[in-house]
Amino acid sequence: MLSNKSIVAVMLPAMIAGAIALMINWRVHRDMEGVGAWPAGSAISILGAILRAFEDQLPDAAAILLADILIIGGQLIVLAGLCRFAKKPMFTRSSLAVMAGLIAGVSYFLWVRDNEISRTAVFTTALAITFALQAPALLSLGRQEGFSGVFVLAFVYIAGLPLLAWRIVMLVTQGKLPSLEFDLEGLTGPEQFNQLFIFVFATVIIILRAYGYILLSTNRVNLRLRQTATVDPLTGVSNRRAFDEELRRLAGRVRRDRICLGMAVLDIDHFKRINDTHGHNTGDVMLRHFAGVARSTLRDSDFFARIGGEEFVLVVADTTPAAFRQAVERIRHAFEQSGVVDARGELKATVSAGLAISAPGEWEPQRLYIWADEALYRAKGGGRNRIELAEQAPSTPVMEPAG
């Protein structure tokens, strides 16, 4: 005979392993907000599941209510951790409503009108709601940080919702709870299989959920490492390494689709004078300000990077000379009209830019950069705060890039 204790004994190792894995994950990634709530909530839910498995042997009905509160409360703690991790607002009112509904419903069907079927339906509904509340945070993480881990958790919760609904239907239509006391010969009976399946499914959820949350943490670490390697720490825009990677990424598209590639080199005018007169701290503020102004005027598909000192580069694929010049002109005009404030008051600066456009399908990024750089020097020599478009090859010979 497989009793409640037998089933709990089968589930418990996986449940504990999942909680331990999440605890280790928290110890490794303690600097990440919300990660500590995952093992804490899982442990509380595990305790509630153990109490519920032994509900027939508990001394009073209050222990049944406590078990349900622990299970749902643990899930809400996990939800709170996920929202903090994803930097999304916590569903405080929804969580309080779920807990209040659980306590009221279970209490009513315990002491006012003792009905185990209805009590279980209330609990299952509360559990389904906690699953559904995970969706916004997971979607936000998927869009911002990639879908590593999100797919695993989505499978857990998407699979869980219809199964929980199916469980309610089974309970209501049969009018009774499946028995946990069954022999191996009758294991395939519909009532016994239903109850056993719920326990197995709960075990799988714990394992997959732990794995999914660990993947979320690992993906964030990888994202941070990539940002450290490809993001300029002062301005927050891409750096020279990211610029080189972007050119490699665009190579195939330019050749395959035979599009034009626009490259602009931008330089803040009289930046050395700003450093010498107002100090390097003000110069750093000006660099950050210019980067913010440029990003605010560009499209998400445009690539903008700081490649050294006060020099920046803009790369736009599939553009025309007129459209490209207009995009850079928006940056120049917006920067000219804005400014920063230091101890001496408001400080404004201007920017000059040199532009170069490739022929359709032509891939010579080194030559294109040199053209744009020479156009920049013409803009500087022509009075600054202006844009020059390269119209001919530079006089300096260049080596053709391999490939």
Residues 157-196 as b or e (16 or more Cβ within 10 Å = b):
beebbeebeebbebbeeeeeebebebeeeeeeeebbebbb
Quick one: 190 and 249 in the same domain? no
DSSP state of 238: B
Quick one: 80 and 198 in the same domain? yes
Quick one: 117 and 213 in the same domain? yes
* Final residue of a structural domain among 230, 258, 273: 230
In a domain, 399, yes or no: no
User: What's the rounded Cα separation, in Å, for the pair 277 and 342?
Assistant: 12
Quick one: 317 and 216 in the same domain? no
In a domain, 395, yes or no: no
Quick one: 223 and 244 in the same domain? no
Q: According to the model, what pLDDT value does residue 14 have?
A: 80
User: What's the rounded Cα separation, in Å, for the pair 259 and 327?
Assistant: 18
180 pLDDT above the threshold of 60: no
Quick one: 176 and 267 in the same domain? no
Q: Which range of residues forms the domain containing residue 350?
A: 240-389
CATH number of the domain enclosing 125 = 1.20.1070
User: What's the rounded Cα separation, in Å, for the pair 99 and 331?
Assistant: 52
In a domain, 394, yes or no: no
Contact 247, 261 (CB under 8 A): no
- Band of residue 9 on the pLDDT scale cut at 50, 70, 90: low
Average pLDDT of the segment spanning 96-108: 96
* Region label for 318, one of left (φ > 0), alpha (ψ between -120 and 50) or beta (otherwise): left
What is the phi/psi pair of residue 149, to 5°? 90, -35
Q: According to the model, what pLDDT value does residue 177 have?
A: 56
- Relative to beta strand 387-389, strand 351-357 is parallel
Distance of CA 174 to the CA centre of its chain: 43
Q: According to the model, what pLDDT value does residue 299 have?
A: 92
Quick one: 141 and 282 in the same domain? no
User: What's the rounded Cα separation, in Å, for the pair 403 and 400?
Assistant: 9
342 pLDDT above the threshold of 90: no
Tell me the β-bridge partners of 348.
Answer: none
Quick one: 173 and 244 in the same domain? no
* Final residue of a structural domain among 209, 230, 251: 230
Residue 27 is inside which H or E element, if any? helix 4-28
Average pLDDT of the segment spanning 99-126: 92
What are the pLDDT digits (tens) for 195-213? 566 666 667 777 888 999 9
User: What's the rounded Cα separation, in Å, for the pair 217 and 223?
Assistant: 10
Quick one: 159 and 184 in the same domain? yes
* Final residue of a structural domain among 171, 200, 230: 230
What are the pLDDT digits (tens) for 38-68? 999 999 988 988 887 776 676 677 888 999 9
- Band of residue 400 on the pLDDT scale cut at 50, 70, 90: very low
Place of tokens 């404030």: 341
Tell me the β-bridge partners of 353.
Answer: 266, 387
What is the phi/psi pair of residue 166, to 5°? -60, -40
135 pLDDT above the threshold of 90: yes
Q: What is the mean pLDDT of the chain?
A: 87
Helix axes 271-278, 280-297, angle to 10 degrees: 140
Q: Give the pair of three-digit tokens for residue 336.
A: 């000219």
In a domain, 401, yes or no: no
Residue 351 is inside which H or E element, if any? strand 351-357
Starting at the edge strand found earlier in the chain, the sheet holding 311-317 runs: 303-308, 311-317, 261-268, 351-357, 387-389
DSSP state of 149: T
301 SS3 class: coil
Give CA torsion, residues 176, 178, 182, 187, to 10 deg. Answer: 130
User: What's the rounded Cα separation, in Å, for the pair 352 and 386?
Assistant: 5
381 pLDDT above the threshold of 50: yes
257 pLDDT above the threshold of 90: yes
In a domain, 178, yes or no: yes
In a domain, 313, yes or no: yes
User: What's the rounded Cα separation, in Å, for the pair 290 and 328?
Assistant: 13
Q: How far from each other are the two terminal CA atoms of the chain, in whole angstroms?
A: 71
227 SS3 class: helix
Q: Give the pair of three-digit tokens for residue 112.
A: 């006012």
Q: Give the pair of three-digit tokens for residue 76.
A: 């809400």
Quick one: 258 and 194 in the same domain? no
In a domain, 400, yes or no: no
Percent of the chain past pLDDT 70, that is, above it, reads 87
Quick one: 65 and 141 in the same domain? yes
- Band of residue 115 on the pLDDT scale cut at 50, 70, 90: confident
185 pLDDT above the threshold of 60: no
Q: Give the pair of three-digit tokens for residue 99.
A: 């807990």
Q: According to the model, what pLDDT value does residue 197 have?
A: 63
Average pLDDT of the segment spanning 239-266: 94
Q: According to the model, what pLDDT value does residue 159 have?
A: 79
Q: According to the model, what pLDDT value does residue 190 have?
A: 54
Domains in the chain: how many in total? 2
Tell me the β-bridge partners of 306.
Answer: 312
Lowest mean pLDDT among 110-114, 372-376, 384-388: 110-114
Quick one: 160 and 297 in the same domain? no
Look up the pTM and report it. Answer: 0.73
CATH number of the domain enclosing 330 = 3.30.70.270
In a domain, 172, yes or no: yes
Contacts (Cβ under 8 Å, ≥6 apart) of 49: 11, 15, 67, 71, 202
